[in-house]
Amino acid sequence: MTDKIDCVVIGAGVVGLAIARALAIAGRETLIVERERVIGSGISARNSEVIHAGIYSPPGTLKARLCVAGRHLLYEYCRDHGIAHQRCGKLIVATDDIQAAKAEGLMLNARANGVTDLTWLSAAEVKRLEPELFTTGALLSPSTGLIDSHGYMLALLGDAESHGATIAYATAVTGLKAVDDGVALTFGTDTVPTLTARVVINSAGLAAMDIARRFGGFPGNFIPRLRYAKGSYFTLSGDSPCRHLVYPMPEPGGLGIHLTLDLAGQARFGPDVEWIDEPEYDVNPARTGHFEKAVRDYWPGLDVKRLSPGYAGVRPKIAAPGEPSADFRIDGPETHGVPGIVNLFGIESPGLTASLAIARKVALMTAGE
């Protein structure tokens, strides 16, 4: 005989916590299962902490729709909960005529996504705004901002717990199987299931595919191949050259090595894109030259001696190198045919921005379960 619960959320990253909060607020008995001893130690701890406007993703995709909806929800949540954030805006810079033409396409894409506040700035207008930059023009996105992601996750967990959710740390899910009344879960070194949930939300980030494969009898054709795209960051000593975030035109696999800020105004550059076989988080000092070249394209005054290795993250890509970026995968029983489980695959950027909208979608998907 196993214990029974309504919902289990696997993974206490920003998306898992947002989902658990939404389920708990809806009055559903919810357990969060996290294999580490703290929340948000994976993808959620290793990103740019940017609130994205919704500019890049193809119109109609989950990434586009949930980013735009999530951005509105996130700013409201930050205001209501006193979470440190800043609507600092960003510049997407062009450094030649070809890139300027790409910027026009980005603006059209953004408008199709419902982002209507982008404006094109001439080179002179950019210079007045950010004198250190070299550009032939830039898109200004006033809706882009920064967030204290850890403060946000603590608030999500607090909300979830205040509505009755619980969390189990240092608890690894090692087995799942379908049973008559839901999904039976096995943990750690146990050899038999000890808990049955009516609904399991697999929000395990880089481990999501592994969790799905641990589900006995789950159809393998609904588990995409995971590819690891490492992104390194270099920090800049001294004052930042800019008050806005500064992005180049997007590149395959990412948004290019951009200048971002923390809430104290300290600048850093990244992430780049480095395809790797297994997750690892060392920042190779030998990549300094690569960063220097990329940054000098829009900030010629960079003193490379001010750059130092910072930190790295790993994106959970479900598209191969050279392929177009894949959409978020939020696969419920209507997709894969297995009752009681929702798998979240490929939740990379803008997953932080979209987190509350993703949570609302998952809560609605599982409301009848």
pLDDT digits (tens, 9 = 90+) for 86-129: 999 999 999 999 999 899 999 999 999 999 999 999 999 999 99
Rounded-to-integer distance, Cα 338 and Cα 218, Å = 7
Report yes or no on 210 lying in a domain: yes
Query: Do 106 and 239 belong together in one domain?
Result: no
* 80 falls within a domain: no
- Within a domain: residue 137? yes
- What does the block give as tokens for 258? 């951009």
| Crossing angle of the two packed helices 14-25 and 351-365, in degrees rounded to 10 | 40
Short-list 306, 355, 305, CA closest to 330: 355
Domain holding 280, by residue range, is 226-323
Residues 242 and 319 in one domain: yes
How much is the average pLDDT of 280-288? 97
- Judgement on whether residues 215 and 333 belong to the same structural domain of the protein: yes
| Residue at 83 is within a domain | no
In a domain, 69, yes or no: no
Please indicate, yes or no, whether the overall pTM of this predicted structure exceeds 0.85.
yes
Q: Which residues does residue 5 pair with via DSSP β-bridges, in sequence order?
A: 197
Residue 166 belongs to a domain: yes
Note whether residue 238 is domain-resident: yes
Residue 62 lies in a domain: no
Same domain, 123 and 42: no
Confidence of residue 310 (pLDDT cuts 50, 70, 90): very high
pLDDT for res 368: 74
**Given the structure tokens 């050259």, which residue do they identify?**
241
Q: What is the CATH number of the domain that holds 172?
A: 3.50.50.60
| Average pLDDT over all residues of the chain | 96
Does 245 share its domain with 319? yes
User: pLDDT tens across 183-234, in order?
Assistant: 999 999 998 999 999 999 999 999 999 999 999 999 999 999 999 999 999 9
Q: φ, ψ for residue 241 (rounded to 5)? A: -75, -15
User: Look-up: residue for tokens 């950027």?
Assistant: 349
* pLDDT value of position 249: 87
Question: Are residue 217 and residue 239 in the same domain, yes or no?
Answer: no
For residue 114, count CB atoms less than 10 angstroms from its CB and return exposed for 0-12, middle for 13-18, buried for 19 or more: middle
Number of separate domains in the chain = 3
Say if CB 86 and CB 263 are below 8 A apart.
Answer: yes
Pair 172, 154 in one domain = yes
**231/318 same-domain check:** yes
Q: Is the confidence at residue 27, as pLDDT, over 70?
A: yes
The pLDDT-based confidence of 308 (bands split at 50, 70, 90) is very high
The strand pairing partners of 182, in sequence order, are 179
What are the tens digits of pLDDT across the range 150-160? 999 999 999 99
User: What is residue 254's predicted lDDT score, i.e. its pLDDT?
Assistant: 73
* Burial tier of 56 (Cβ tally within 10 Å: 0-12, 13-18, 19+): buried
**Whether pLDDT at 349 is above 70:** yes
Residues 138 and 208 placed together within one structural domain of the fold: no
Average pLDDT on 270-277 reads 95
Mean of pLDDT values over 288-316: 97
**Residues 159 and 172 grouped into a single domain:** yes
Residues 310 and 270 in one domain: yes
Q: Are residues 231 and 302 in the same domain?
A: yes
Q: What is the DSSP letter of 254?
A: B
Q: What tens digit of pLDDT does each residue of 221-259 get?
A: 999 999 999 999 999 999 999 999 999 988 776 788 999
Q: Is the pLDDT of residue 322 over 90?
A: no
Give the integer Cα–Cα distance in Å for 212 and 200. Answer: 11
pLDDT of residue 250: 83
